[in-house]
Amino acid sequence: MLSTPSVLFVCTTCRAGEEAVEGMPAPGERLAQALAQGNACPDVDVRPTPCLSACTQGCSIALARAGSWTYVYGRLSEADVPEILAGAAAYADSPDGIVPWRQRPVIFRKQSLARIPPLEV
């Protein structure tokens, strides 16, 4: 484990195609709450965030850590919470953010929106 925490950004504004209902949390908000409640990894910081600008790709998340690759995933829902948290813990446990392919949850293998290298060369 590394001393630098990994951040799991969760888009809270995503409606995932659902119509807005007054007083009801958006799908992204529900996903963020479920992830925050379910997270048991001390090296993962679940951070609800308004709009990750991946609006056509359902609920989205991003995994980031200083000096590591950043990964963005989409088309997610509350049903994916256990897999997302397992993937986030594996990310936190990796030295550079790159988790071996077969150790990634299927949703991370199939629902990548983007990855961004660390700024440091």
Contact positions toward a second copy, by CB under 8 A?
7, 9, 47, 49, 51-54, 60, 62, 64-66, 70-72, 74, 112-117, 119
Q: Tokens 């989409």 map to which residue?
A: 74
- Least distance to a second copy, CB of residue 70, Å: 6
Nearer to a second copy, 40 or 121 (CB): 121
- Least distance to a second copy, CB of residue 76, Å: 13
- Least distance to a second copy, CB of residue 23, Å: 27
Q: 30: Cβ–Cβ under 8 A, 6 or more apart, which residues?
A: 78
Distance CA 38, CA 51 (A): 22
Nearer to a second copy, 34 or 111 (CB): 111
Nearer to a second copy, 52 or 85 (CB): 52
- Tally the C-alpha atoms within 13 A of residue 114's C-alpha that lie toward its C-beta: 9
The partner residues of 44 in beta bridges, in order of sequence, read 6
Strand order in the sheet with 112-116: 44-49, 6-11, 59-64, 70-76, 112-116
- Least distance to a second copy, CB of residue 51, Å: 8
